[in-house]
């Protein structure tokens, strides 16, 4: 019986702690609605770091409703994305410029082999989804085109691998038409292999 009481007491204590965490204000002295707006307006690279501040921030920032609000907010909070070769590693380094604060942020490395993404890739974005797409390119070691599709999502500050293109391409054009990625022309598997075809990638069906 003593064991049962002890177990029951521990469960009640755990429930009390969980209730306290859920009732804890996001920012003391502010209504949670206002505090959530403050978190929404953090520059997105910092939002992933803010999750470690406390349980209530982590719970709010990872909530699906918060992520949806961030996607909607991104329509009115533009960022400029640029890339450059990193001198010491010879790899592509992406950065984002926040025009409100005048600050630059370094993005996480793209998930690709070291020899894959030097020249020839195409970039496009889907602002309504807060996503940047990097397609194709040429391997620096074999001088052959590739068909990879890599996606950067601002709401998570992470890269991911999407469905590859049907045709390996480099030095081609790409753009967003009604939420679909269009890839046009370019060089094929071999450098002198000219491509005249067009392909379409529906991001919502991947």
Residue 13 has pLDDT above 60, yes or no: no
**Strand 198-202 relative to strand 180-184, pairing:** antiparallel
CA distance 53 to 99: 26
**What's the confidence (pLDDT) of residue 19?**
44
**What's the confidence (pLDDT) of residue 44?**
67
CATH class of 80-205: mainly beta
Q: Over the stretch 92-123, which tens digit does the pLDDT of each residue have?
A: 889 999 887 788 988 998 887 666 655 689 99
Tokens of 51: 């999750």
**Domain boundaries, given as residue ranges, for the chain:** 2-73, 80-205
CA distance 110 to 103: 21
Q: Over the stretch 125-179, which tens digit does the pLDDT of each residue have?
A: 998 788 999 999 888 778 888 899 999 988 778 899 999 999 999 999 999 998 8
Q: Answer whether 0.75 is exceeded by the pTM.
A: no
Residue 50 has pLDDT above 70, yes or no: yes
Continuous H helices in 1-141: 2-23, 32-40, 44-50, 55-61, 64-73
CA distance 107 to 94: 5
């Amino acid at each position: 019986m003593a064991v049962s009481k002890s177990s029951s007491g521990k469960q009640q204590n755990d429930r009390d702690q969980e209730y306290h965490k859920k009732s804890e204000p996001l920012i003391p002295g502010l209504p949670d609605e206002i505090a959530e707006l403050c978190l929404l307006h953090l520059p997105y690279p910092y939002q992933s770091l803010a999750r470690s501040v406390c349980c209530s921030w982590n719970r709010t920032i990872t909530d699906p409703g918060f992520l949806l609000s961030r996607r909607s907010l991104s329509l009115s909070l533009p960022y400029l994305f640029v890339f450059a070769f990193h001198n010491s590693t010879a790899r592509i380094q992406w950065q984002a410029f926040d025009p409100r604060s005048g600050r630059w942020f370094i993005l996480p490395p793209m998930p690709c082999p070291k020899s894959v993404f030097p020249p020839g890739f195409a970039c496009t974005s889907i602002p309504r989804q807060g996503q940047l797409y990097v397609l194709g390119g040429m391997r620096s070691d074999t001088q052959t085109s590739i068909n990879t599709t890599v996606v950067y999502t601002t709401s998570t500050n992470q890269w991911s691998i999407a469905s590859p293109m049907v045709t390996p391409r480099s030095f081609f054009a790409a753009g967003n038409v009604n939420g679909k990625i269009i890839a046009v022309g370019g060089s094929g598997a071999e450098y002198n292999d000219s491509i005249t075809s067009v392909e379409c990638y529906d991001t919502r069906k991947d």
